[in-house]
Structure 1
Amino acid sequence: MSQGSAAPTFEMTVDLNVLDHLGINLYSNIAAVLTEAVANAWDADAETVSIKVSASNDRIEIEDDGIGMSVEDLNAKYLRVGYRRRDEDTEHGRKTAKGRAVMGRKGLGKLSLFSIANVIEVQSSKDGQAHGFRMSVDGIHRAVSRKESYHPEPLAGSAVVVTRGTKIVLSDIKRQRLGKGMVALRKRLARRFSIIGEASGFKIEIDGVPITAADRGDLPKVQFLWTFEGNEPEASTISHVLERESLPARFEAWDSTWRVSGWLGTARKPKDLDDDEAGNLNGIVVFARGRLFHENVLDRLNDGRLYTKYLTGQIEADFLDADDQPDIATSDRQRVQEDDERYVQLIAFLRSSLNQIEKKWNEWRRKHEVEQAKATSPALKDWLDSLGAGYRKSAETLIAKLSALPVDEEEDRKLLYRHGVLAFERMKLRGSTEELAASIDSLDKLLKLLADRDALEASLYRDIVKSRLEAIDKFTGLVDEDAKEKVLQQYLFDHLWLLDPSWERASGSELMEKRLTEEGIIVDDLTEKEKLGRVDIKYRTTAGKHIVVELKKAGRRMALHELEQQGRLYVDKLKKILAAQNESSPNIEVVFVLGKPVEDEMTNPDRVKYAMASVSPGSRIVHYDTLIHGAQASYSEYLERSKKFDKLEKIVSGI
């Protein structure tokens, strides 16, 4: 730029094309559009706003009894896109003449009407003077193409019928955006305002019938209720609520003017929150200044815990829309700028509140769902009542969680109960019932855990039946010593639980047996065995122990010193083998299985005890008859368990 020349002039203009983005294409449903018209009526100090939809759905009238607008108001405020009332109206920009907190802020809401209608008539009366005009999408587009300002068409005097407030008539309706009818519209508008009712002096009517808080449809679905301090719902609206608790309304560190109001609640079943007309009620609506500010803040919390599937509620947080703070609402006023500190604080507060809710929900859920389940299934009640106190709480938690899973049909839920009972009994044998109850937070996890009923039943019986009945059946048929010896030789080494219940899962080691054979402890030669009195020796390991079991011929009488000498030999040889494997202090037990008692067992038991201890700690003598009696005792115990399983089967079948 040469010295002395004039500075260039710059000018920013806004094309009418902006209406396509801020109005015609900004909103997608009739409830969101009418929210703007209702909010304008509130800001005009109206007591009633009436909405009428023609039977053919081709005409919508919105009329209020507010203060109305003059021609100057219509031009300077209504037709001026972006008029910021709170900043520009020094007298009633933030508080109306009636003292209402003004809802409008951006000056864009009136454009939303173009989202559902191609033609809009506006009539308004103020100070006894009524005026009106007609706008059309086609007219605006023609002005855009000619790069001209748009001038709405004035209505003839005879066409202006309003005598008080403002009347808006929408025609040439875009039918695809009308939604699911008037019942749905009533519910959706009810969920967009918290100032409906006598307390606020504001009424919204659809086709002459007032909208009420009950039209929201959420509170009647609530089983458990949490209200923020200072909120007291009408008793008649919460008479169905089973449990209720109060929550703090603010963080202590917050500004003194910051607080929330409203309530949160949980339904009994997730499907209770499904509503084709009102939309899914599984969410938390946020209001500010009495109107919708965020459609569902629950989505923003990213909380995947089970209880959130049952959650609904509505809270008011006026500090999100403070006059002296930046506007954080998006253009369609249904979401917010999420990095604003006020919103960040609200999210943190809600997370804290929901943590408290989850704890109570689990407690209340277990209490009431268990009672409900017991009432609907006497067999399930019998099972729960039969459990000891140590198991009952885990079982109740299990039943409560099963009842909380999203299952539509009651028969399917009963099937879950059946599987749950079988699984619990299985886990009870393993001592892990709490793990079972704690692991169920989704249907997928449950199905993976439980598999199918046949697998569960097989699991219940396998450990006791398969491993024991074969051996026990053999024992019950024994009639002489040879049979006893033959059967014991065949089964004893594979069923060490007959010797010691703690050896149930003892494992063998072919390599170690080979080493013991090389050391001369285990004898394969039958002739040599005969010289030794028909000795059979097996080696096992279990729970850190090395076990040498010597089975003597049933008819042979042994002397104590023979057993002591043989036992020490076994221990010395085994220690040598294990030392070569870097195990310097092995735990070794030697068990002698005899048919006839050692003389000292009757005359000097202390000597027997000392002799076995000198072999190695834990070494001992057992007898065939003792094993048979033990097997019979095990058989009796199994019969008792079978009776319990039979009873369990009856319970499961009866659920």
Structure 2
Amino acid sequence: MINQKYHFDITPHIVKQLGEQLVSDEITALLELIKNSFDADATYVSIEINTTGQYTKEKLFYPNHRGFIVVEDDGFGMSENTIMKSWLLISYSQKRELKEAKKKTPGGRTPLGDKGLGRLSTQRLADICEIFTNEEKESGTHIAFNWKDFEKEDALSEVRIQAEHFSSQKIKGTTLILANLNHSEVWDGKNLENFKGQVSQIISPYKENRPFDVYLKINGININLDKSNDELRDLAISRFKFNFDGSSITIQGKTKLSKFIGNNQEDFKNFLEIDNGRKFYDYLSKKQPDIEKSDNSFFIKFEKKFDFKVSSINSIYPLVSDSRTL
């Protein structure tokens, strides 16, 4: 005989502990939310961080708060059923199933997010989580909860979730409002530079072919991530360009002298850096006639063309992976 009063449940505190263990810091948490937008086939995600103000653009269940983060995208959004059976069902992740089956999103993207960590990431960032979301041309669902309630209730099913339907002005997408920030100081100084650098690695450096954009505003100031991207590329020791015309592939490369530092910095300083690599270049150009002196901050450059055959592909790999080939 089945008795419904006997059933498994879990203390909400375990869920908080799980999130703290799986999501190491605030920057990782926000990166997971950006990846969620990418995985939802969004063309953009807009992030606004305000460390002291109140969010007033939407009617919130928790309007009284200090500091907020807004993550908004135009991805495929969620239906009420998806929220109930996916977002609010801890540990379920359709993304995990896609990854394990090596499948792609409906838009043809390889999922970036890590096994449903997005929802657990929110507790790292703020106490309150409110979600406005709707699928294409469908009515929207607004839910909200407070992570502090996870410390008060005895069972996970007793944590209060507030919900309502709303008429969305967006065709589709999700807006996540995280209020009562936990550590506002994270979004300043070196931590902010670290965050900008990691976000720049997610978006394509080439604006004309970029399928996904990230817009960032912190305390009313728009952050130019393209500028950060250009600065990161300027710091690169080597750069390579690949052009495939259907039958052959052309590789253009250039590298800085610092590429050849190796394990002995003293030898590099005494034999290479002392004359800015002039003698070393003379030696390399005799060994590799394709090498030329580069301009600006780079030391040497080369260009090679290969017929697109299996035998040629095998010969390309050592060229781009081993500096001794240069």
Which TM-score tier does this pair reach, normalised by the shorter chain? 0.5 to 0.7
Residue 256 of structure 2 aligns with which residue? 242
1:99 CA displacement? 0.7
CA–CA distance in structure 1, aligned partners of residues 91 and 199 of structure 2: 25
Per-residue CA deviations over 1:14-49 (Å, capped at 9, x if unaligned) read 432222222246434332111111111011100110
SS in 1 for 2:127: strand
**1:203 matches 2:213:** yes
- Give SS of 1:115's match: helix
> Structure 1's 205 and 373: CA in aligned 2 closer, same or farther, altered over 3 A?
same
* Cα 1:27/1:89, change in 2 over 3 Å: closer
Is 2:274 the partner of 1:370? yes
2:178 — aligned with what?
A: 170
Alignment match, 2:292: none
In the alignment, is residue 111 of structure 1 matched against residue 130 of structure 2? no
Cα deviation for residue 66 of structure 1 reads 0.8
**Is the contact made by 1:29 and 1:179 (CA closer than 8 Å) also made in structure 2?**
no
Contact 2:78–2:134 under 8 Å retained in 1 = yes
After superposition, what is the alpha-carbon deviation per residue over 1:113-149, rounded to whole angstroms, capped at 9, x for unaligned? Answer: 1102000111101132111111111222233x35644
- The 3 A distance-change label for structure 1 pair 11 and 157 is closer
Instruction: Name the structure 2 match of 1:358.
Output: none
Q: Which TM-score applies when normalising by structure 2?
A: 0.61
**Cα deviations by residue, 1:258-290 (Å, 9 ceiling, x for unpaired):** xxxxxxx7598xxxxxxxxxxxxxxxxxxxxxx
Looking at structure 1, the residues matched to 166 and 143 of structure 2 have their Cα atoms a distance apart, in angstroms, of 10
Q: Secondary structure at the match of 2:152?
A: helix
Q: Indicate whether 1:138 and 2:148 are aligned.
A: yes
Q: Secondary structure at the match of 1:204?
A: strand
The answer to whether the 8 Å contact 1:95/1:102 transfers is yes
Preserved contact between residue 85 and residue 93 of structure 1 (Cα < 8 Å) = no
Q: Which amino acid aligns with 1:112?
A: S
**CA 1:131–1:79: 2 relative to 1, 3 Å:** same
Residue 23 of structure 1 is aligned with which of 19, 26, 29?
A: 19
Matches within 5 A, 1:443-592: none
AA aligned opposite 2:144 = R
C-alpha spacing 1:105/1:185, structure 2 compared with 1 (3 Å): closer
Tell me, yes or no, if structure 1 residue 66 matches structure 2 residue 58. no
Contact 1:124/1:131 (CA < 8 Å) preserved in 2? yes
| Aligned twin of 2:238 | 225
Asked if 1:215 corresponds to 2:224, the answer is no
The offset of 1:106, in angstroms, is 1.7
Q: Distance in 1 between matches of 2:89 and 2:75?
A: 20
Counterpart check, 1:75 vs 2:91: no
Alpha-carbon distance between aligned partners in 1 of 2:126 and 2:186, rounded to the nearest angstrom? 10
1:274-293 correspondence to structure 2 within 5 Å: none
Amino acid at match of 2:39: D
CA separation in 1, counterparts of 2:259 and 2:177? Answer: 40
Distance 1:89 1:266, change over 3 A: closer
Q: CA shift at 1:102, angstroms? A: 1.5
Q: SS of the residue aligned with 1:17?
A: helix
Matched, 1:185 2:192: no
CA offsets 1:75-121 (integer angstroms, 9 cap, x no match): 1122222123146569x983112211122342223211110200011
Query: Does residue 1:33 correspond to 2:29, yes or no?
Result: yes
Contact 2:46 2:215 in 1 (8 A): yes
Task: Tell me, in whole angstroms, the C-alpha distance in 1 between the residues paired with 2:91 and 2:109.
Answer: 21
SS in structure 1 at match of 2:238: strand
Give the secondary-structure state (helix, strand or coil) at the position aligned to 2:133.
Answer: strand
Kept in 1, the 8 Å contact 2:9–2:156? The answer is no
More helix by share: 1
Q: What is the aligned partner in structure 2 of residue 53 from structure 1?
A: 49
CA offset digits 1:412-441 (Å, max 9, x no partner): xxxxxxxxxxxxxxxxxxxxxxxxxxxxxx
Q: Distance in 2 between matches of 1:113 and 1:86?
A: 18
Correspondent of 2:159 among 145, 150, 153: 150
Partner of 2:322: none
Give CA-to-partner distance per residue, 1:548-604, whole Å, 9 cap, x none.
xxxxxxxxxxxxxxxxxxxxxxxxxxxxxxxxxxxxxxxxxxxxxxxxxxxxxxxxx
Question: What do the CA deviations read for 1:302-341 (whole angstroms, capped 9, x no partner)?
Answer: xx9456xxxxxxxxxxxxxxxxxxxxxxxxxxxxxxxxxx
Letter in 2 for 1:202: F
CA deviation after TM superposition for structure 1 residue 229, in Å: 8.7
Which is strand-richer, 1 or 2? 2
**Counterpart Cα distance in 1 of 2:7 and 2:227:** 49
Decide whether the 8 Å contact of 1:66 with 1:166 is kept in 2: yes
Q: For structure 2, which runs of at least 5 residues remain unmatched after alignment?
A: 54-66, 279-326
* Contact 1:122–1:166 under 8 Å retained in 2: yes
Does the Cα contact within 8 Å between 1:51 and 1:63 map onto a contact in 2? yes
How far is the alpha carbon of 1:202 from its aligned partner? 0.7
Q: Which residue number in structure 1 is paired with residue 108 of structure 2? A: 99
Distance in 2, matches of 1:123 and 1:150, equals 19
Q: Deviations over 1:356-404 (max 9, x none)?
A: xxxxx967x6664111499xxxxxxxxxxxxxxxxxxxxxxxxxxxxxx
How many Å separate the matches in 1 of 2:164 and 2:129?
11
How far, CA to CA, are the matches of 1:167 and 1:138 in structure 2?
21
Question: In 2, Cα distance between the equivalents of 1:88 and 1:42?
Answer: 17
Q: Secondary structure at the match of 1:124?
A: strand
Distance 1:203 1:229, change over 3 A: closer
Preserved contact between residue 93 and residue 115 of structure 2 (Cα < 8 Å):
yes
Structure 1 residues 215, 88: CA separation in 2 closer, same or farther (over 3 Å shift)? closer
Partner amino acid, structure 1, of 2:30: L
Which TM-score applies when normalising by structure 1?
0.33
- Structure 1: gaps (5+ residues): 1-5, 244-264, 269-303, 308-360, 375-655
Q: Please state whether the residue corresponding to 1:68 is helix, strand or coil.
A: coil
Kept in 2: contact 1:203–1:210 (CA 8 A): no
The Cα offsets for residues 185-227 of structure 1, whole Å up to 9 and x where unpaired, read as 3234224x254654341111102555238437443234x4276
